[in-house]
Structure 1
């Protein structure tokens, strides 16, 4: 887990509340010393819930939740009075958060909408009081149900960035520079590999006051699907992107091979990623003449649209935004 403001993976210990026990009680009054059972039910244990919050973009605030322990339900009372339910705990998380069980790895909850609230870990049910067990043949039951135990265990919260377009490329391919030119985002830019260690988001303006969200993701390397480099931490963010923009620098030694590696790593991690629409952008193209562009274009996959761009020289960016918008708004005919 990175020691910075962006936290996209945390581990927490959770325990929902235990249900309150049912009451064993018999009513007594001046008219009837044995008026019958009147033990009430126990209250439900507190749930642990997750709520989506569009104002959050990181799990940083969750880092300080060492243990999440919901309140137990209150035992039942006499006079058929039900005990109070335990207070629920509501954890606010950014959109795109996935909750998993640490031991099994099974996905339990997914938060995708602002204000979406779901019960993540249910509290135990309250036990029934002895009044529920009275029958014509057993009018004075002297027993009641105990409350159910809550659930507990280590859990994982993972954030998968929600963005329309995800920038995919090798380290130092020019992704951060492109995002900074197309949007108001200010990612760190430097001339060395892995400048971007955490996803950066930017809103790209388009025609007629339209816009879309673009994510600059950490650079991919060969073997990322096996966990090399930033590995799975990088690749899981791609799952949320509607369109993938593959960025290949013009000064690459082998453009065809670089595209093959990028696509192969996506397929190795999750073959379904290949069903997403893709566009190839050849960055740093200010150094290319028309003849070189034609030669490079011949090496690129024929079934993926490509654009030659230069973020520094502001070349091809309008065409790139047109291609991205076309892909984002195209009907799903894949």
Structure 2
């Protein structure tokens, strides 16, 4: 089953909590703090596996969660970091953040990796909070939550050559003749509903990958018919082989077909319209094909005299070998290049990381008698603070004062006993004397 689009949920593992503990050793009556840090949560990592050709696995599993880090231990022992969760994806997978619709990664090379959800940091144990003024703190942090997000995966087939054209012009027949691929072939429109790939051996030591792509119709750039489901895959191809039904089956006009298909490619992507193209006049074994070819060549020369038409018959194989030589020669002149130019830099780095920076700014608004503070960094601090000890509460209050939140609340009119809300956390404002 060929699946080329999937929506999944990923979550990095939460960090392990830090520990409050004290040394209790023989002959050491006043042992210092000995609580260790928690381990980091595991990352969710996508890794390219060239053995995969479809996203079908994501049809049955849509949630991927990495393990959380281990809690800190006594004697300042660090909790173990969790193992990363490796998710295998096929080459040609584009990873899109479903919330922002931004492209996070374009995965094309075998073993290429990207972190799609980073695990949370482990919380610090009380040994890390010891100071000269407070040598035995009872403060430890909770582990940080791992990143979580919904992702859309789009697979764009990795092929050197893409066969394009209206339905039933002979694309599948040609692929079956020049490779070992066995696409479905029948005498009705839209026989091919998903891309078929085949490795073509030219016969002189050269080879390339050819994709038989579903047929286009007018309006495809707007999603009509197979629309975007087809055009997504054309983006990857280095050379476009445009198949024309030169037998004018069903009263079609070969030149009109050529114009409409090229128009759809250009409307979908200007760069796609500029892709190197070979025009192939297929079904030359049919009656009147020579007459239509002569008229088609004349009309084409008026538009662009440099375009050469290659007459072939996929059924009788006449002209097919010459076509393969032509394609192979053209591919040698075109360097390998990323075809999604607006993506992140695809350097030789194996792992890409996407880390959001903490936002130190905050906003305060009033809802009736409640002051609501919005600040990503403060909300993160709340989640990491263990409010079960008085020292932790006092530390949290000091941080708010240092950030200027207390003064900002006074300026807005906050008085003793007024409710302050930060995320899901509420507390009373107390004017410090």
TM-score w.r.t. length of structure 1 = 0.93
How much is the aligned-residue C-alpha RMSD, in angstroms?
Answer: 1.9
Deviation per CA, 1:34-73: give whole Å up to 9, x if none. 2322221111112111111111111112221132122111
* Cα pair 1:278 1:305 within 8 Å, conserved: no
SS in 1 for 2:150: strand
Match of 1:216 in 2: 212
Match of 2:111 in 1: 115
Q: CA deviation at 1:313?
A: 1.8
| Gap change, CA 1:289 and 1:8, over 3 Å in 2 | closer
Does 2:262 align with 1:266? no
Number of matched pairs: 329
Q: CA deviation at 1:242?
A: 0.9
* Cα pair 1:255 1:299 within 8 Å, conserved: no
Written as runs of structure 1 = structure 2, the 5 A alignment for 1:12-27 is 12-27=8-23
Does 2:136 align with 1:140? yes
Separation of aligned partners in 2, 1:281 and 1:202 = 18
Structure 2's unaligned 5+ residue stretches are: 336-433
Q: CA deviation at 1:290?
A: 5.4
Q: Which deviates more, 298-307 or 59-68?
A: 298-307
SS in 2 for 1:178: helix
Match of 1:313 in 2: 316
Written as runs of structure 1 = structure 2, the 5 A alignment for 1:165-184 is 165-184=161-180
Match of 2:295 in 1: 295
* Cα pair 2:206 2:328 within 8 Å, conserved: no
* Cα pair 2:238 2:334 within 8 Å, conserved: no
Q: CA deviation at 1:306?
A: 2.4
| Gap change, CA 1:304 and 1:85, over 3 Å in 2 | farther
Separation of aligned partners in 1, 2:114 and 2:164 = 32
Separation of aligned partners in 1, 2:28 and 2:92 = 61
Separation of aligned partners in 1, 2:334 and 2:114 = 31
Separation of aligned partners in 2, 1:46 and 1:218 = 40
| Gap change, CA 1:303 and 1:80, over 3 Å in 2 | farther
SS in 1 for 2:19: coil
| Gap change, CA 1:209 and 1:292, over 3 Å in 2 | same
SS in 2 for 1:203: strand
TM-score w.r.t. length of structure 2 = 0.72
* Cα pair 2:246 2:289 within 8 Å, conserved: no
Separation of aligned partners in 1, 2:305 and 2:261 = 16
Structure 1's unaligned 5+ residue stretches are: none
Q: Which deviates more, 213-222 or 58-67?
A: 58-67
